[in-house]
Amino acid sequence: MKILIIRFSSIGDIVLTTPLLRCIKAQKPDYEVHYLTKKQFLPVLAHNPHIDRLHLMEGDDLNAVLQELKGEAFDFVADLHHNLRTLRVKESLKVKSSAFPKLNLQKWIRTNLRLPVMPDKSIVMRYFETLKPLGIVNDGGGLEYYIGPQGATTNEDIPTSHWYGYVACVIGGSYATKKLPVAQWQLMCKTIPYPIILLGSIDDREDGNAIAAIDPVKIYNSCGKFSLNESADLIRRSRVVVSNDTGLMHIAAAFQKPIVSFWGNTSPDLGMFPYYGGNDLHGIVSPKSFLMERKKLYCHPCSKLGYNRCPHGHFRCMRSLDMAVAANAVENFWKH
């Protein structure tokens, strides 16, 4: 049987689909697995051994890749994105398909009325519902991430002071309201007694410089210096990860790293919390995950994605997080 998995974006969402790929290959080894995503996310899946073929969409243009897909004669489509573009793919291929439940109504109620209507489980479990017709079940093995030889880093890539262990701090984020403010990072990094590597894109470079300025020896600003997979390798080599709600957080979970995560306009109960294989938010809480969230703030959460600025103007969801508590969580993970 030939299966097409569809997830166009983004880094974290794609990483959260990796347990399905492993389970298909383990439970149905004769199945051929194809994956459709955007070309910009090729590094996330390029080295995954459970994918037989990757199909890449250039930008938002489906036309070219649709012709490629039509020539594959798929038997089943697992739609893990579930939007108008994936509907077009399914209508073009005309084969049996299944789409994961996005729970858009529940998300709207959670982010607009602040009512706790979301299920107490990771989005991974909802992804697995698309594979029920094939008899594929979750093996509890968690997420996976494959770096490849070109993504490997060495001690020569980081300061000597960091060779024997460091805390990886992911300061980037897809939206401003998902990013802990620089002043908060400075407070926490000043308190943490261990070497720190700041991770982010070139757009985070200036913020990284401001954070590293408080202690240039202890804090190494790597923002913009490494590729995605090189940054993932620095995550893999770290002892503790501190992160905004972003793709590298999920990569850290794939490497089973202890994570202190910050939640601004989004909330972990939307299903995107660090997932280690069997944990949820309340019933089976992972000892490797420490969530920093202002649960009783009247306006939190306010979005399932994010904004360029706080819609209420105060950004208390991030600015009022206690950095002493965060630093203490980092120390506990480091020691234990």
pLDDT tens-digit series, residues 111-166: 999 999 999 999 999 999 999 999 999 999 999 999 999 999 999 999 999 999 99
Q: What is the pLDDT of residue 59?
A: 87
Same domain, 162 and 279: yes
Establish if 139 belongs to a structural domain: no
- pLDDT tens readout for residues 286-325: 999 999 999 999 999 999 999 999 999 999 999 999 999 9
Q: Tell me whether residue 144 is in a domain.
A: no
Q: What pTM, to 2 d.p., does this model score? A: 0.98
- The pLDDT score that the predictor gives to residue 60 is 86
DSSP string, 6-70: E----HHHHHTTHHHHHHHHHH-TT-EEEEEEEGGGHHHHTT-TT-SEEEEEBTTB-HHHHHHHH
- Please state, rounded to an integer, the average pLDDT across all residues of the chain: 97
**Using one digit for the tens of pLDDT, what is the confidence trace for 108-126?**
999 999 999 999 999 999 9
Domain end point (choices 134, 162, 187)? 134
| Residues 324, 233 share a domain | yes
Is the domain of 122 the same as that of 179?
no
Same domain, 179 and 254: yes
Q: Which of 72, 107, 134 lies at the terminal end of a domain, its last residue?
A: 134
**Domain limit, last residue, from 77, 105, 134:** 134
Residue with tokens 């347990």: 19
167 shares a domain with 305 = yes
Using an 8 Å Cβ cutoff, are 171 and 260 in contact? no
Residue 146, SS3 per DSSP: coil
Please indicate, yes or no, whether residues 194 and 74 belong to a single structural domain of this protein: no
Domain count, the chain: 2
> Does residue 302 sit in the same domain as residue 204?
yes
How does residue 79 score in pLDDT terms, banded at 50, 70 and 90?
very high
Task: Find the CATH number of the domain harbouring 18.
Answer: 3.40.50.2000
**CA 336 – CA 334 distance, rounded (Å):** 6
Same domain membership, residue 325 and residue 180? yes
68, pLDDT greater than 90? yes
User: What is the Cα–Cα distance from 245 to 201, expressed in whole angstroms?
Assistant: 15
Query: What's the average model confidence in pLDDT over 270-287?
Result: 97
Whether 6 and 122 map to the same domain: the answer is: yes
pLDDT more than 90, % of the chain: 99
Partnered with residue 76 across adjacent β-strands are: 3, 96
CB under 8 Å to 114, separation ≥6 — which residues? 298, 299, 300, 301
Domain extent, residue 36, equals 2-134
Spatial CA neighbour of 179 closest among 268, 294, 309: 309
